A and B are shown apart, each in its own frame.
Chain A
């Protein structure tokens, strides 16, 4: 079996003081062993929530998993796992690199302490051995003078170095799946390239799967084999990276690509997507994208579109792809 993680129909709601809010809706994502997939979308579209939901890092008091959802980890549904069972999985089999290296490290513990923690926990080795391993890890992620860094506190390191430490921490137990939640957003461009390169080379060495979450299409195109495009909590299009970039089927994906500057056609005006992402408390009826879409039809305002298969694993949820639409075109 080649599937590592199979998310089926995942919906997550949050209890807030304004009422219950559904952050992601019927998200289905498949991750195969050793592959890199990308999740792309505007901020607030539910990318991070999806990743956090799989690792069950969402606050227990407020986050509600829908009853019909399944998160299959190597054939086992982990939705009903207890905190202990999850702890055995987290760090060992799946781990995560967080967005902001400034806040993701505990300020009162040394880098070494924080890397060793996972090692001691999962590999059951002594602190001494763990420190030795941690030093190797820091060297592997390209930190100079690792023996010194081990005993330093986070505030004594630069942003890039902290992000590398975070990666070292996530990779400590050689997990089989790594969620990279906007790992480069807080870094400047040169560091970004280094970190991405690092991730890719480590992946090849360790054979792990990566779920890369980003709003940056360039990063996604460079790194991923398959891509999921999310909008307002739903996956609107998914497929191989070349299909998504060359033959986008959903108007939202189209809009995202059109908003990228094209250095070869400088005179072509940039096209953004008009309007703004909807407030999840005031979602439009029907397709969530119709208020911003260029091709809105009557049906879009009434009914949410189903997912249409375009072959080779390329899928999109848009009424434009509905076979019935051909009849209308014939009449008019």
Chain B
């Protein structure tokens, strides 16, 4: 068990190293370096800036420095916000994103699984059809369009909710809906099809032959088997919420990390982009580790040491 955990940790470290190397490499592939801009800066300023950020050192030294700092969880200074480090900004803005993200995560999981169950239970009824129509729309409409529609409907046509900013519970509703809509639709489709799959299995027939009622059949027998694909989707779900947050936070003007990321892309704030990318990657890798831990709880066939099909 401990050995396994250590192995996984080592694996995660390798992945992180690959990530940092790729990001570092990409950053230095920029022709002319990060401070070459449309506006020409005076050579003295350029030299001073390059001195300050050690851009004159050899690439190997810079890489080594960056790795050392990253290992110490220090993602460096921001180019565009002098005096602030990337760490400062993450610490400042991430709690907001985390709150929104977690609410959306539970919203997507709850709504998706329940709706999927309902659709599977009432297969080929109007419940099923209307849910499937919603879910298909949900996966094929980009989240910024959903956000725009939500704002138009609930902030302007019927002004019952705030259109932007972040000052309390009522400010969470629209962004959380916009963020959760797409993953919820996906989870719904996933749940529905995997429940139908599970219901077609032989053991369901055995259970029916024992006189088990429809409700118990669904909840006791099919759902747990059907949850496996849903659990393994939580990792990609977290990633989807992350990237979704870039858009949703920008549209709703929420002072979270996602909006900051988008701003730093507009500003070409390279250390910021790199730092946040690494931070996000780290987050998702950790998320995957946690999910691997949850897996055996759902499926007794999977032990931590051996995942099915590996």
Contacts and interface: CB of A to CB of B under 8 A. Distances in A.
Query: Per the CB under 8 Å rule, do A and B touch in the complex?
Result: yes
A88 B211 CA distance: 6
Interface in B91-126: 123-124
A98 B299 CA distance: 23
Q: Is the interface of B mostly helix, strand, loop or mixed?
A: helix
Contacts, number: 87
B84 interface: no
A95 interface: yes
Given A109-B221, A153-B300, A155-B301, A57 B205 contact: yes
A96 B203 contact: no
Interface string A87-104: 111111001101010011
B301 A107 contact: yes
Nearest to B222: A106
Given A84-B213, A118-B210, A121-B211, A104 B205 contact: yes
Nearest to B123: A61
On chain B, which size bracket covers the interface?
A: 20 to 34
Q: Is the interface of A mostly helix, strand, loop or mixed?
A: mixed
Contacts of A114: 206-207
A117 interface: yes
B198 to A, nearest CB: 9
A55 interface: yes
Interface string B185-204: 00000000000000001110
B209 A107 contact: no
Interface in A170-227: 170, 172
B208 interface: yes
B307 interface: no
B298 interface: yes
Contacts of B130: none
16 contacts: A55-B209, A57-B208, A83-B214, A89-B211, A95-B209, A95-B210, A96-B206, A106-B221, A107-B300, A108-B224, A108-B225, A114-B207, A117-B207, A153-B300, A169-B206, A172-B210
Contacts of A61: 123-124
Given A92-B211, A96-B209, 20 more contacts: A57-B208, A83-B214, A84-B213, A86-B211, A87-B213, A89-B211, A90-B208, A90-B210, A90-B211, A91-B210, A105-B206, A106-B206, A106-B207, A107-B299, A107-B301, A108-B301, A117-B210, A122-B211, A170-B209, A172-B210
